Chains A and B, each alone.
Chain A
């Protein structure tokens, strides 16, 4: 198609970026939880929580929130 609406193309690009960010969150969260939680016999504490929760859930959660705020406010184009 030669004359696709640029607004549609921008929205599609943004949707692909969002899907990729979801995949990154999945890999980080499950990967770190597997390494420090499922696969580990011992439990350590960081910031008052089990280490696997701190680095596998809370840190990526904060990162995802910062990314969502930044992406929402700065990267999604006004149409």
Chain B
């Protein structure tokens, strides 16, 4: 076993042991408390560190440490603008709704977001509607998260002999469990992840999820800060890295076959992934392994990247390139220039950034405005974040958590942009497979610092992010089903032991469903995550915010707001799917569907209030007035 594999395995085992120990401690800590409030809200006892880190860790999904780095690598400094609204997100996400939501949840004894809506509007229909929407969208959201987590797990453990043997055993003993298009390594990674995360979530409930979130939050920030120091050191400083990026031109992406002038031996001939090769004065890097089968002379086509700028070529050659065997000749074809940025230097440091497919570049101005609204609105409107706002212990906790999370996100997102801009200098030519840049950088930086075990810690960062999102969402679906469907609508007098068993069973079933979905990994992972995250936000932000701050907001308005916002959002995606044949929405005026969905949600809310039955006076007084029992006072609209 290589030192890298040993480091990865050691880090993974240590991390798993700590997660399981935390789950066990959490279960003991909550053993003697009322089941539902403890299992789903930790008895509303979150302190400052717990609230800040569980909020931060749940918000930062696997996408933050896999998808976001790959976008920085592919498009450069413009990603600083793409993610910029995280500068104000902690204040918006916690401060906008936190105080009122926590107050209303305590006043009514609400445990879930649909619970709050039911009590605020005295409407079972609204609660049931929001439960169905919540459970559906969250279940869809879980599938790509499981898929990403198992890909990370596969990357983490692929060099470990025991993992390779177990994968082989899995493929031989239960081949039906390895669908076409996947590998035994992927399925094994998926199963390990599912058992681990379902196990500690079902076993320890909300408290375990929060405690593991704290651990995961620390792992994330420590990993990012260590990577920042190493990346800047190895790139020769930030100014040097920016200057080098300024000289870069976007690569050309194409395919190559490798031809041998003799028949390949019985063991075949392999040109490894990420191999450099030259033809005449041109420099290429393979994006996957090319195999020449025994007795043949030609490999199957593989993806290759051509480096274009002279400075970059010189730098790579100076580091040294292992030549291909003399008997092998590459034949490159189908090279495509970037739709924006081809032949131009400076595009990686100037907005809108280069794009292989879009002539307007990666981030035209309209999209920049959209994303500034997107992250703040989408994050604030996530029911997963709202639940955390129902669980803190006092306003003082909320205030300190806002301050702590603001500093935490600054320490995560600004360094991530810098690290993966440096990655363009340190690990060039990965433009065909930028999703791999996080693990590639982890190993490269640890190697460069001569501290191989560090790779284990760094590569645990995206794994921790995936776990912290998945556990929260699984628990939220469980709470929706057990509390909002079963207890509120079927068995109001259900015993605590029944609810406990049902909660465990429900969490396990959700885990099995998500695992089964991830066995057939969907395409467009990042798009599904963005679509479902945005869908939840447009469905819940308007109704919940207006329920908290508009005394005259009524049941009809809340229903119209929830349905109207989601339908408008869905319609733009469906129109894009019909017109473009991909999960790419139509963007009127260059603005994201989330903005239109949110505007539609507000418009429908106003219509519902104007034409629906007025909000009952006792509800208005209960939630907004100092004297709920007062009679005979007129309430102005």
Contact = CB atoms under 8 A, between A and B. Distances in A.
A associates with B: yes
Interface of A: 1-8, 11-12, 14-15, 18-19, 21-22, 25-26, 29-30, 33-34, 37-38, 40, 43, 45, 47-50, 52-53, 56-58, 60-62, 64-65, 67-69, 71-73, 76-79
Interface stretch (B25-33, B345-353, B556-564): B345-353
Contacts of A58: 80, 414
B237 interface: yes
Contacts of A30: 81, 365, 368-369, 372
Given A37-B81, A49-B80, 18 more contacts: A2-B633, A3-B630, A4-B624, A6-B626, A7-B103, A11-B100, A11-B549, A12-B549, A15-B96, A19-B92, A25-B372, A26-B372, A29-B372, A30-B365, A30-B368, A34-B365, A65-B407, A76-B398
B403 A57 contact: no
A78 B346 contact: no
Interface in B74-94: 77, 80-81, 84-85, 87-88, 90-92
B159 interface: no
B170 interface: no
A52 B363 CA distance: 14
A5 B629 CA distance: 13
Given A15-B95, A43-B346, A77-B395, A3 B625 contact: yes
A78 B392 CA distance: 13
Interface stretch (B238-246, B440-448, B460-468): B238-246
Contacts of A79: 99, 103, 395
A18 B91 contact: yes
A64 B93 CA distance: 14
9 contacts: A14-B99, A18-B91, A29-B84, A30-B372, A45-B242, A48-B242, A61-B410, A72-B91, A77-B395
Contact of A61 (B239, B365, B414): B414
A73 to B, nearest CB: 5
Nearest to A62: B410
A18 B100 CA distance: 14
Contacts of B630: 3
Contact of B636 (A1, A14, A18, A33): A1
A38 B90 contact: no
A65 B91 CA distance: 9
Nearest to A33: B81
Contacts of A56: 81
A53 B78 CA distance: 8
Contact of B627 (A3, A8, A50): A3
Contacts of B352: 38
B400 interface: yes
**Is chain B's binding surface mostly helix, strand, loop or mixed?**
helix
B310 to A, nearest CB: 19
A37 B350 contact: yes
Contacts of A49: 77, 80, 238, 242, 418
Contacts of A48: 237-239, 241-242
B465 to A, nearest CB: 21
B396 interface: yes
Given A18-B95, A77-B395, A26 B349 contact: no
Given A1-B551, A53-B77, A72 B406 contact: yes
A4 B96 CA distance: 19
Nearest to A26: B372
A32 to B, nearest CB: 10
A78 B238 contact: no
B403 A69 contact: yes
A72 B400 contact: yes
A5 B91 CA distance: 23
Contacts of B238: 47-49
Contacts of A77: 395
B149 interface: no
Interface residues of B, number: 61
B351 A37 contact: yes
Contacts of A3: 625-627, 630, 633
Contacts of A68: 88, 90-91, 402-403, 406
The 3 closest A-B pairs by CB, nearest first: A48-B238, A72-B402, A68-B406
Contacts of B493: none
Contacts of A25: 84-85, 87-88, 372
Q: Quick one: which of A57, A62, A67 has the most chain B CB within 10 A?
A: A57
B368 A33 contact: yes
B394 interface: yes
Contacts of A22: 85, 88, 91-92, 376
B589 interface: no
A71 B91 contact: yes
B91 A52 contact: no
B92 to A, nearest CB: 6
A14 B623 CA distance: 18
Contacts of B633: 2-3
A38 B365 contact: yes
B630 to A, nearest CB: 7
A38 B400 contact: no
B180 interface: no
B313 interface: no
B583 interface: no
A50 B625 contact: no
B589 to A, nearest CB: 15
A43 B403 contact: no
Contact of B87 (A53, A60, A73): A60
Contacts of A52: 350-351
